[in-house]
Every structure is written in C-alpha cells, then in structure tokens.
Structure 1
Amino acid sequence: MIFDHRTYACRPGTINKHMKLYEEHGWKAQARNLGQPLLYGKVETGDVNSYVHIWVYKDAADRAAKRAALAADPEWQAYLKLSAEAGYLVSQVNSILTSAPFFQMPEGYALADGPGAG
C-alpha cells in the first residue's frame, strides 16, 4: 500500500475561495476516480494558507491507473481550468509514502477498487 501525500499552498486570503471552488467543481470527480482520501484538511497552525490531502493506493500501478482515469475525466478537466483561471494556488508538494510496519488503517476505511471505483 502507498500513500500520496499532497500539500498545496494558496495565495493569502484565498484558501476559503479555493476550497469552495474545489467543493463545487472538483471533489465529486476526484472522489469518483480516486476513492475517498484518508485525509483532506486545512492547516490550522503554521502555513494557514495551505491544505493537505492523502490518497491511498494498492501500489504504483493502482495509483497510475486511477490518476489516468482522473486526468481523462471531463468534469475534472473543467475544474482544473476553473482553478487555473482563479489563480488561488501558488505551490504543490507531493510525497509518496509507505506505511510503517506497525501502522493499521483506520477502522472503516475502505480502499476503492480500480479506476473510477470511488
């Protein structure tokens, strides 16, 4: 199992606008293609203009297939266009993680099967 940890930073004063744009235009397409994230949250201390999400995949091939399905989704493409036009995002950092041997997934978390199974 791998974890795709993503941190995005927004221009000061725009994070709530960005989150609303994503909620209305991006969330459904992303969840439909990737499944439910392990976490999707705003930073409360430190860089308060940023947010983090963590997606879980069976392996690199599962991630590649789901990300390809997302990239091909017309609803996601429309969201990316709106996001670019809004100009709220200023940076993105992605890290692929593997779990520690003692880590257990939270009870009730279900990994989606295949592209678009979310």
Structure 2
Amino acid sequence: MIIEHRTYTFRPGSVDGWLKKYEAEGLPIQKRHLNRFLGLYVSEIGRLHTTVLMWGYDSLADREARRTAMYADPEWQAFIAGVWALDAIQSQDVMIMNPAPFSPGA
C-alpha cells in the first residue's frame, strides 16, 4: 500500500468553513471514488491553519485510475469549483509515501 499525504495551508479564519464544506460535500464523493480514507488532521500547534489529508492506495496505478474517475465526476467538479470560490487554500503539497519494510501494511 502507498499513502497519499496532502497538506493544505489556509488563510487564517477559513479552515472551519472549508472543513464543513469538505465533510458535507467533498468527502462523500471522495470515499465513493478513492475508497481508503485514512484520516484528516488539523494543526493545533506549529504551522497553524494547516490540514493533512491521507488516502491509501494499492499502487500508483490504482491511485491514478481512482483519481481520474473522480475528476470526471460532475459532482466532484461542482464541489471543487465551490472550494476554489472560497479562496481559502493558500498552498497544497502532495507526497506519495511508501511504507518502510517493517511498517504495518507493508
């Protein structure tokens, strides 16, 4: 399994609005397409106004196929257009993480 680790940095004061929209609209769509939701975390100490979102995939090919299908979904397209209209996200970093040989699920 590989892990997609997405870090989003938000304008101060905009995280709560994004979280509500994501939970109500975006997450259900992503769960339908991406399947293995590992969690969403919000910073408490350190770099504030930051979230980390993680998804698990069988491989890079699995990730590519699932994300391609999601991007083609009209519901996802409407959701993401609404997210960009919020003008809340300042930066986005995406990493693909491979497990160490002794990690659970490796």
State how far apart, in whole Å, the 2-side matches of 1:55 and 1:69 are: 15
Q: What are the residue-to-residue correspondences of 1:1-118 with 2, within 5 Å?
A: 1-105=1-105
Greater CA drift, 36-45 or 76-85? 36-45
SS at match of 2:51: strand
SS at match of 1:83: helix
Unaligned runs of 5+ residues in structure 1 are: 106-118
State how far apart, in whole Å, the 1-side matches of 2:8 and 2:2 are: 19
Unaligned runs of 5+ residues in structure 2 are: none
Higher share in helix: 2
The amino acid across from 1:42 in the alignment is: V
Aligned length: 105
The amino acid across from 2:66 in the alignment is: K
The amino acid across from 1:94 in the alignment is: V
SS at match of 2:46: coil
State how far apart, in whole Å, the 2-side matches of 1:82 and 1:15 are: 15
Q: Percent of pairs identical after alignment?
A: 39
State how far apart, in whole Å, the 2-side matches of 1:28 and 1:97 are: 24
The amino acid across from 1:89 in the alignment is: I
C-alpha deviations, 1:1-32, integer Å up to 9, x for none?
21111000110011001111111221110111
CA contact (8 A) 2:36 2:57 kept: no
